[in-house]
Amino acid sequence: GQNIDQPTEMTATEGAIVQINCTYQTSGFNGLFWYQQHAGEAPTFLSYNVLDGLEEKGRFSSFLSRSKGYSYLLLKELQMKDSASYLCAVFDSNYQLIWGAGTKLIIKP
């Protein structure tokens, strides 16, 4: 079966750095997405990785290792507004999106 694993919940301190991991087992791979979802709102697109390596976008970076079936989202200089759920999703060989259950990130002052 196809599976994506993320930690259920993480806690971090304002101003710090946090890394949210995502491991996947899918039938084929055509890219990996990270989305941010604030409570009661729609998911919004953060990043897309299809090649190995690190993609940096301001305070957020996303890393992919296809051989390990692994990605992480790195958030720097955490702000209170970063409190949200972070969803990992993989395009399989048929371009169907497989979703993880999401990681709820709690930021404390």
Position 50 contacts another protein (CB under 8 A):
yes
Q: How far is CA 96 from CA 30, 38, 47, 78, 90, in A?
A: 9, 24, 17, 32, 8
Residue 109 C-beta: closest distance to another protein, Å: 26
Q: Which of 24, 63, 72, 91 binds another protein (CB under 8 A)?
A: 91
Which of 27, 19, 109, 18 has the alpha carbon at shortest distance from 72? 19
- Distance, CA of 28 to CA of 105 (rounded, Å): 29
Q: Which of 29, 60, 70, 99 binds another protein (CB under 8 A)?
A: 99
Interactions with another protein, residue window 56-85 (CB under 8 A):
none
Position 39 contacts another protein (CB under 8 A):
no
